[in-house]
Chains A and B, each alone.
Chain A
Amino acid sequence: MTADTILSTSPAASPGGKSRGRRLTLPRLLIIISIGLVGLALVHLLTGADDVSSSGAIQAALESAVPIGLAGLGGLWAERAGVVNIGLEGQLILGTWFGAWGCLHFGPWLGLLVGILGGALGGLVHAIATVTFGVDHIVSGVALTILATGVARFLSFLAWEGKPGGGGSTQSPTVPHQLPRISVPGLSSLDGLEKKHWFLISDLVGVLRGLLVDVSVATILAVILVPLTWYLLWRTSFGLRVRSVGEDPHAAETVGVNVYRYKYYAVLISGGVAGLGGAFLSTVASTIYREGATGGRGYVGLAAMIFGNWRPGGLAVGASLFGYTDALQLRRGSDSVHALLILVGALLVAVAIYEFRRKHWMLMGVSLGLAVLSYLTFFLVHTIPTPLVQAAPYVTVLVTLALVAQRLRPPAADGKPYRRGS
């Protein structure tokens, strides 16, 4: 039990009813995407910052979103079974190391598999500590991250230090082979249309090209995992048992579910999925394992899962948003972030109006203040300094969570240690 329980006077305490209306259905998703696209097109038109919607930027965003989304999916599996997995970062680190190592020795496909196994190993340690021994979930997760850092560096030293190829105790040699990339035919030739910078049309082409041209098969695999996770968790008896363990383990035990075993399954899958995200980082998004390359993406993934209200669809939206802001730094981020301040300001004004109608004065004031700050920055400064561009994804996480956090409902027994018969 944590101090959270004493604060839950929010709507989060009353599930059902309204929450059904907030579920992410296909029409809703399309509306969100359309609004986002029009917003980007407007920003592009007003500021001339091409990289807010160029195909290159969208492709980078997709590749940044994959590790975040996979970490989030990993978090989803664990937390649906009631185990908070802050060790995602550690499992991601193990995934980057094992993925790169596997790729160097057995090629890219088996590299992904080895990465999954590495992450699952981290999941196993977390499961042993939290499920079998009842250690606090956050404590175990932090310990796992410390351990994973050490293991990765030690193994790097053994595998690569002083060997040919330029590796050492903090990085691997360059990974030789990459997974194939595929394109939807016909879109490649639309390059000219994107360069015309016509309002909305060029933006749409840019986004489509970014998402559908030159896409790694690993990315496609990751995207498929989102509906697959939904299907497994919400449409199979296995998933029902996993979720029952996360909602009410005592009740689950009563009807014959082996709580410990299902928690183990879920945490192992969690680690494996996060490990895949790590392997993606070191073998697809880049061609090298480098210490610190995960840069807290495990935590951002966890934030994406919370943003998505512990559901796969919302998680994917969150991962896309955070991935997009994360990728901005790669391509003239100083201009893009500056331009996007218009959109941020507009969103904050919208929030302020919404809160005004709900008579939440303090929230309205804070949103309005932040909106004014955004616009002041936009008009007074011409580019955003690089370090602040790099901070953008983390700021985005905080701001978006601040806007949605109180309407969320985690699994009822999330984070609570369970002991049979107590």
Chain B
Amino acid sequence: MNRRIDPAKLVPQLVAPVAALVLAAGISAVVLLIADKSPLTAFSGMLDYGTTPDSLVEILNKTTENYIAAVAVAIGFKMALFNIGTDGQSRIGAFFAGSLAGASWMSWLPGQLKIVLIIVVAAIVGALWASIAALLKMYRGISEVISTLMLNSIAGFLVTWLLNDHWGVQGPGGQIKTTPILPKSAWMPSLPLVGGTNNEVLGFFAIAVALGVVYWFLLGRTRFGFDLRATGWNPSAAVASGVDARRIILTTMLISGAVAGLINLPRMLGETHTYTEGFASIGFTGIAVALLGRNHPVGMAFGAFLWGFLARSQIILDLDEIPKEIVLIMQGVTVFAVVIAYELANRIGATAQQRRVGATADKAPVAAAAGASLTIEETK
């Protein structure tokens, strides 16, 4: 086990995100200075406000959503498949699940089972929507990048139409249409995780944690996960060793879409108890978090938390008359800095390793070569 962890490759990988974050903060500070605002006031204000108990609850809630969105994207990333359509999959999944569970002819169903029904239906509908992109790729060779983006827009308009013209009901006191409000028995209980406040963390937090564990197990400890990663690393070699390319595209996209279908559920089950078009789109947030965390279950949790922290703590900036839009720039720069830093870390790690392998190659050529191939596979 220990032989597979190579410090020469690991250290750059860990330093990279930290360096990228520092760089992003630095660039944001420069931007603020140019705009004649004090970066120190901005950052300290954000840190103070973002660490209050109330903020922490909200950050954990955002972390839950961000994390699910990131896992959905990461499953695709692992086999070099870009599911940029998580936004559409989440919308259409939550909408159908909410409409079905809230429908009057479903009122016989006990509340707890309704929660299960919503989760299952949202996942299935999300998966089906994603499968369109998979089928178009498998049989017509259309890049999933384009098709999922188109399906995002189509899903949005489809939900608008069905919600406003067909299945929606007038929201309480509002002018917008929503899916029928769920009965109290189908509200997901929240968790008192943070002390010092009456607010509680959305119950879906627990499911997100479980999702992370399942993700780790599925990809790292199963035959399917191995096939998936192998196809991502080297498609030709994977196919040559017996992986069915079409089937793995479909399966990956189905799983990714199913997870994406859950993105809107934390709020829907624990907060709004209905689906409206007002749900924020966090498809791109999921991509950013997956990149930040390098598709690693723990790394993505950090990324999801960071994004949640930034989204929450920006609220305070307006009080100091600092444009809170700076946070968007901070996020954009962070993503860029992180992907570039990881790429550089890869190069530095590989160079260091080559040098060392070169130095030992004279003594034991066979063993050194075998060791190198193992570690390259592990960190790629």
A positions within 8 Å CB-CB of B: 1-8, 10, 12, 86, 125, 129, 133-136, 138-140, 142-151, 153-154, 156-158, 161, 169, 295-296, 299-300, 302-303, 306, 362, 385-388, 390-391, 394-395, 397-398, 401-402, 405-406
**A-B residue pairs in contact (CB < 8 Å), sample of 10:** A1-B80, A129-B340, A134-B343, A147-B329, A147-B333, A150-B327, A154-B323, A296-B153, A394-B151, A405-B142
Q: Is the CB of A7 within 8 A of B340?
A: no
B141 and A385 contact, CB distance less than 8 A: no
Asked if B153 and A1 make an inter-chain contact with CB atoms under 8 angstroms apart, the answer reads no
CA distance A2 to B78 in the complex (A): 11
A3 to B288: give the CA distance in the assembly, Å: 21
Indicate if B226 sits at the interface (CB-CB under 8 A). no
Max count, chain A CB within 10 A of own CB: residue among B140, B164, B238, B339 = B140
| Interface: B319 (CB within 8 A) | no
Q: How many A-B residue pairs have CB under 8 A?
A: 164
Cβ–Cβ contact B145 & A86, under 8 A:
yes
- Among B321-337, those with CB < 8 Å from A are 323, 325-333, 335-336
Q: Residues 246-288 of chain B: 1 if any A CB is under 8 Å from the residue's CB, otherwise 0?
A: 1001000000000000000000000000000000000010011
Are A3 and B231 in contact, CB atoms less than 8 angstroms apart? Answer: yes
Q: What residues on A are CB-neighbors of B143 within 8 Å?
A: 4, 306
Given the known interface contacts A86-B145, A135-B343, A388-B161, the answer about A147 and B336 at a Cβ–Cβ threshold of 8 Å is yes
| B82 to A, closest residue via Cβ | A138
B80–A302 touching, CB < 8 Å:
no
Instruction: Given A7-B245, A296-B149, verify A405-B141 contact (CB < 8 Å).
Output: yes
Closest to A300 in B: B150
C-alpha gap A150/B80 in the complex (Å): 27
- Cross-interface CB contact of B329 among A150, A302, A401, cutoff 8 Å: A150
Tell me the B120-148 residues at the A interface (CB within 8 Å). 136-143, 145-147
Q: Is A139 in contact with B332, judged by CB distance below 8 angstroms?
A: no
Interface size on B, residues (CB 8 A): 60
Q: A147-B329, A148-B332, A398-B150 are in contact. List 5 more A-B contacts (CB 8 A).
A: A1-B234, A386-B161, A394-B157, A398-B151, A405-B142
Contact A8 B141 (CB under 8 A): yes
Distance from B335 Cβ to chain A, minimum over Cβ atoms (Å): 4
The interface bits of chain B over 291-322 (1 if a CB of A lies within 8 angstroms of the residue's CB, else 0) are 10000000000000000000000000000000
Q: How far is the CA of A100 from the CA of B56 in the complex (A)?
A: 40
Is the pair B153, A3 in contact by a Cβ cutoff of 8 Å?
no
Write out, one digit per residue, whether chain B residues 74-109 have a CB within 8 A of any chain A CB (1) or not (0). Answer: 000001111010000000000000000000000000
Contact A7 B161 (CB under 8 A): no
Q: Is the CB of B137 within 8 A of A385?
A: no
CB closest chain-B residue, reference A125: B336
- For A12, the chain B residues whose CB sits under 8 A away are 141
Bound Cα distance A298, B161 (Å):
24
Contact partners of A125 in chain B: CB under 8 A: 336
Whether B154 pairs with A154 at a CB distance below 8 angstroms is: no
